[in-house]
Amino acid sequence: SVVDLARLQRELNQEQVAAAAKTEGPALILAGAGSGKTRTITYKIAHLISAKNVDPRRILAVTFTNKAAREMKTRIQQILEGRVNLEWMGTFHSICVRILRLCLANDRILQVLGWKINKNFSIYDDDDQRKMLKEIMKPIFGDDLDAKALKQARSIISKYKNSVVKEPLPAGGYRIVLQTPTVALEHAAFPDQEKMAGVYRDYQAKLAEANAMDFDDLLLNTVELLQKLPQVAAQFANRFLYVVVDEYQDTNDVQYELLKLLIDRTKQNVTVVGDDDQSIYGWRGANIDIIRNFSRDFDHVTFFKLERNYRSSANIVKGAGSVIAHNERPEEMKKNVYSAEPAGDPIHVVNVLADTFESEQIAKRIFEAGKEQYAKTAIFYRTNAQSRAIEKALNDLRIPCVIFGGTRFWDRKEIRDILAYMRLLANPKDDAAFLRIVNTPPRGIGNGTLDALRLSAEANNSSLWEAIPTEIEKGGRSAKGLENFKNVVELWLAMLQNKEALPIIAEHVIRDSFYKEFLKKEDESTAEERERNLDEMVNAFREFEEENPDKGLDEFLQEISLLTDADKKVESAETRVTLMTIHMAKGLEFETVHIAGCDEGIFPLIRESSMTETPDERKKQAEEERRLFYVGCTRAKRKLYLYHAGRRFWQGSLRRFPPSRFLEEIDPMTVSVEGKCDDDSEQSFTGEPWNQGFSGFGGRQRPGFGNRLRPQYGAYRGPSSSGSSSISRGSYGRNPERATGLHKTERIV
């Protein structure tokens, strides 16, 4: 099972072999969707380990989700027919946690950093974050504090954390400065910005007090640590003989800075793999220029292009390619992706009158394809809200479905409650965990007591847990409840200290807290299912201990909190159709893909905020939407359906929608069109100005994507290559009135 050159040649095509066998020096594999990028680096790592005798623990491999990391590990073990310890294969976040836990266990490092946080830190999730922000913002915002303000604050803080300030150096080049609260305050130009930077500062202080980090901090703090301690960074860089990064097009500035710190500058053994046409996380700080500038940042980069798509039939590859060609791209980045497969089915564009028909059509087609296809079928949509109608239609036909990224096991309330107990045991300073369960189940600890605890904790610079004894001494109304709570938690802490098995501690927590009794009291009808979930959770602890005999509670909690959105997949989807937003679909493949809502305004999505954006920003957004569309289409192996509804309920009212510009951009030779999306009476368009359809955008239309004369429905003009199933191709497509109407309204913008 040695992966030597001959083996590579058997499993990969010529370009893929070249890329996999090139182990030394910086390499960029830039390739289209489905061209075997992930497959190539999987073989590359196997080749390094088995043919070049590289210690797998000295390979750093970054994947986009934990699931992708697991799959790659499994695949490599299959290829090598043996266990391989790829301990540094994971997401940016999981790698950061590893680095942090290693470094923060070292007293000297802690001293130099001067951080309050120690290696037992908790990882705060969205919920914890919201709670903490609320406490900070309440006194500042007063009654103005609503869900929207909170959401905004969270997104601003996340922006601070995911972007950097570039300070030019006198000698040329830049110094990368992280946006810590101090830096954010320095750069705040307006009172509003100052206010938010202040919230950011208080938020960070509170996190530190709770010995906790949020998701973004994992990255930020690792980079800060490595920047402050260059000798530590050098040790890591020295340890990692080879660095491999998948989905490189979605790296952000902070992640890039981290990579540069971890890559040995003299060896520069780094392979990055990506497709700039699939960069879809710009809104979260991903910077497409990072992949485009790779050759500038490293010396003598070897550049590999993979162009043959192995995933999809030719029509799909060609159709998707014709859409993405509408984006402006640097010449050297252009790829000519092709498929050597047969043409296959045409891309089915399905027009319907209204949104209800859309979900019916989707369900009907899936039903007719038969049960065996369910698990190989996915339905994508642009926004989460669109899933409800589809779920309903599937349910009507008794088609089981699973929402990828929906409420998963570890997000269920009862699970999160018991996890909060476990978190408190792992880190008694974890105030968010404390607050979640100190009175759940109720033990007579009221808000008054909590306020008193807070005050006393603040006065003594301690955590809430540490403030309990003082409160008990005061002998207030809740003293008894607090005492009981303290006693039982101390009992569990002692068990943990004595190295009692984790599933047994978890069982104790559930029993001693009378949690199951509480569930029954809360809601008899759901209690049984929730209890089953709790049993399953104890089971998860058992499995974890069996698989990781040398790991403890910290590591368990870490694993849970690192499940990223994209990992939140409900298990056992063998017979179910998968629903998800397109953002979640990256890297995946399905036999059949249905994309709902290919309507101008929905996909591309036109946000209300687009009104205030500059033409340049709008263009950037439109291009990102196009990449998203490209990602969606290229997930399909054999069948691709694109739906357009002429009318739909959208943000509270019934509106008209023209077909998505992306439908017009598809090479007509690859498409067959079915159905109609309007009443077929020209009046309905000529008599009615288009802007009524978009009244929600302030009477103006297509903000964000204006100023472009539409070609006349290109996709509907040409003859369909299949010719077979096209029904009344483009009933609206040749309607000159309609095109003129659009033209007119576009000029209003």
Which residue ranges are tagged as binding site for ATP? 31-38
Among 3, 38, 347, 378, binds ligand ATP (CB under 6 A): 38
How does DSSP classify residue 582? G
How does DSSP classify residue 478? T
- Judged by beta carbon, residue 627 or residue 655, the one nearer ligand ATP is 627
Strands 653-656 and 636-650: antiparallel
Burial call 670-701: b when 16+ CB within 10 Å, e when fewer: bbbbbbbbbeeeeeebeeeebbebbeebeeeb
Side chain identity at residue 206, one-letter code: K
Among 35, 50, 94, 162, binds ligand ATP (CB under 6 A): 35
Q: How far is the CB of 37 from ligand ATP (least distance, A)?
A: 3
Q: How far is the CB of 596 from ligand ATP (least distance, A)?
A: 21
Q: How far is the CB of 382 from ligand ATP (least distance, A)?
A: 19
Asked if residue 321 binds ligand ATP (CB under 6 A), the reply is no
Among 25, 57, 98, 310, binds ligand ATP (CB under 6 A): 310
- Judged by beta carbon, residue 36 or residue 181, the one nearer Mg ion is 36
Among 13, 77, 327, 526, binds ligand ATP (CB under 6 A): 13
- Interacting residues of 208 by C-beta distance below 8 A, sequence separation 6+: 115, 116, 117
Q: Among ligand ATP, Mg ion, none, what binds residue 34 when CB lies within 5 to 8 Å by partner kind?
A: ligand ATP
Of the candidate spans 26-34, 142-150, 341-349, 716-724, the one that interacts with ligand ATP by CB under 6 A turns out to be 26-34
Among 37, 429, 583, 656, binds ligand ATP (CB under 6 A): 37
Asked if residue 338 binds ligand ATP (CB under 6 A), the reply is no
Q: Return the active site residues.
A: 37-38, 246-247, 278, 635
How does DSSP classify residue 2? -
Phi–psi pair at 650, nearest 5 degrees: -145, 120
Instruction: Please name which of 332, 278, 288 lies closest in space to residue 309, comparing C-alpha atoms.
Output: 278
Query: Whose structure tokens read 């003859």?
Result: 719
Among 311, 318, 335, 416, binds ligand ATP (CB under 6 A): 311
Strands 302-306 and 174-178: unpaired
Asked if residue 280 binds ligand ATP (CB under 6 A), the reply is no
Asked if residue 12 binds ligand ATP (CB under 6 A), the reply is yes
Of the candidate spans 28-36, 81-89, 330-338, 464-472, the one that interacts with ligand ATP by CB under 6 A turns out to be 28-36
Query: Whose structure tokens read 């056992």?
Result: 572
Q: How deeply is 516 buried, as exposed, middle or buried, from its count of CB atoms within 10 A (0-12, 13-18, 19+)?
A: middle
Helix (H) or strand (E) holding 645: strand 636-650
Of the candidate spans 10-18, 115-123, 380-388, 718-726, the one that interacts with ligand ATP by CB under 6 A turns out to be 10-18
Asked if residue 9 binds ligand ATP (CB under 6 A), the reply is no
- The DSSP bridge partners found for residue 595 are 380, 642
In three-state form (DSSP H/G/I as H, E/B as E, the rest C), the secondary structure along 647-677 is: EEEECCEEEECCECHHHHHCCHHHEEEECCC
Side chain identity at residue 399, one-letter code: I
DSSP string for 43-55: HHHHHHHHHS---
Among all residues, whose Cβ is closest to ligand ATP? 36
Q: How far is the CB of 278 from Mg ion (least distance, A)?
A: 9
Annotated binding site: 31-38
Q: How far is the CB of 635 from ligand ATP (least distance, A)?
A: 7
Tokens of 385: 């809200």
End-to-end CA distance of the chain: give it in Å, rounded: 63
Asked if residue 7 binds ligand ATP (CB under 6 A), the reply is no
Asked if residue 94 binds ligand ATP (CB under 6 A), the reply is no
Site track for ligand ATP across 623-662, x = CB under 6 A: ----------------------------------------
- Interacting residues of 487 by C-beta distance below 8 A, sequence separation 6+: none
Q: How far is the CB of 441 from ligand ATP (least distance, A)?
A: 46
List residues binding ligand ATP (CB under 6 A).
Answer: 12-13, 16, 31, 33-39, 275, 278, 310-311, 587, 589
